[in-house]
Chains A and B, each alone.
Chain A
């Protein structure tokens, strides 16, 4: 395949993998620091007033900031929020919730993830399951059940993309993913309110 003919292949997967590595390493460091902090608290229960500000800062850093998956999802949210505007800007207005979900599954999914979804199901009460049998992030994993657990963190960013896109389409949602066989992924979309 001559890349000059087909156009550039932006190295998104490599960048995505490096971001995951960074978040994982950061979480390990934070866990270690948290243990040290707790041990210090145990050995020094009489806190001087003058150290309170510093301690509050430590508490914020060590306990309140989210874990790796939460942070990856938040990054993806920002990306999805902007992308959907670019993809939808020349389309006619999407009126109903179902129209927006269909747009997500066809135009948006093709533009961002490289293909249409394979299946969209709903209980008509605000829960949708979007199934993609060859989700692009996982296609470089070995197929089957071996890496089902490890795959979860590789989907957090994409869950955020979907949630951000839906939010900018006027739908507040909670998006989670599940994998039974790599590379097939189910995205579970729970609408938070009728739009």
Chain B
């Protein structure tokens, strides 16, 4: 789907592939809202799906971006997420802000959220539904593949922008299988 094809009337194949993704996500969220008993259950399902996607995207991202080096602190992680990962898969960059004193917690702010294009969340759902929750799961899954446990959640979500909070928990050690020394 990444081929850039020129064809009549200026149809933008790249733009359409983004819209295919956005519309598919929207159809999924609408379906989950019908299937599951509450917006909170929808959030959990979106997060789980995002986590599974994130596990696979981490490999894909590293394969395509040889310039990404091993990150030695959370500032580097934040930079890669904001400037490389989100750019690669959603076509937008994020601002990194609101670091805490220990430098292990930060916000990613997307001023234009491509998932939420064409979307209007009804007022009765806006309180509980986190429309872009799949992004939180994807970040958590991708960083887990990098041996990092993090907590992610949506701090604020408006019609076009979203702020995702990322909090470092711990480094995941390689576990030795039982019986090996």
| Residues of A that sit less than 8 Å from B by CB | 1-4, 6-16, 18-19, 21-22, 26, 71, 75-76, 78-79, 82-83, 86-87, 90-91, 106-107, 110-115, 136, 157
Contacts and interface: CB of A to CB of B under 8 A. Distances in A.
Interface of B: 1-5, 7-11, 13-14, 16-21, 23-25, 27-28, 30-31, 35, 45, 49, 52-53, 56-57, 60, 64-65, 87-91, 118
Contact of A15 (B19, B28, B87): B28
Contacts of A6: 2, 4
A116 B87 CA distance: 28
19 contacts: A3-B65, A6-B2, A7-B4, A8-B87, A9-B1, A11-B53, A13-B1, A14-B56, A15-B21, A15-B25, A15-B53, A18-B53, A78-B23, A79-B23, A86-B19, A87-B11, A91-B8, A106-B7, A110-B7
Contacts of A7: 2, 4, 14, 91
Nearest to B88: A3
Given A15-B53, A18-B52, A115-B3, A9 B89 contact: yes
Given A15-B25, A157-B24, 9 more contacts: A3-B87, A6-B2, A8-B88, A8-B91, A16-B24, A78-B27, A79-B20, A86-B19, A107-B8
Contacts of B2: 6-7, 9, 114
Contacts of A79: 20, 23-24, 27
B13 A111 contact: yes
A14 B57 contact: yes
Contacts of A9: 1-2, 88-89
Contacts, number: 118
Contacts of B27: 75-76, 78-79
Contacts of A106: 7
A8 B65 contact: no
Given A9-B1, A114-B3, A83 B23 contact: yes
A4 B1 CA distance: 16
A86 B18 CA distance: 12
Contacts of A107: 7-8, 11
B89 A11 contact: yes
Nearest to A81: B23
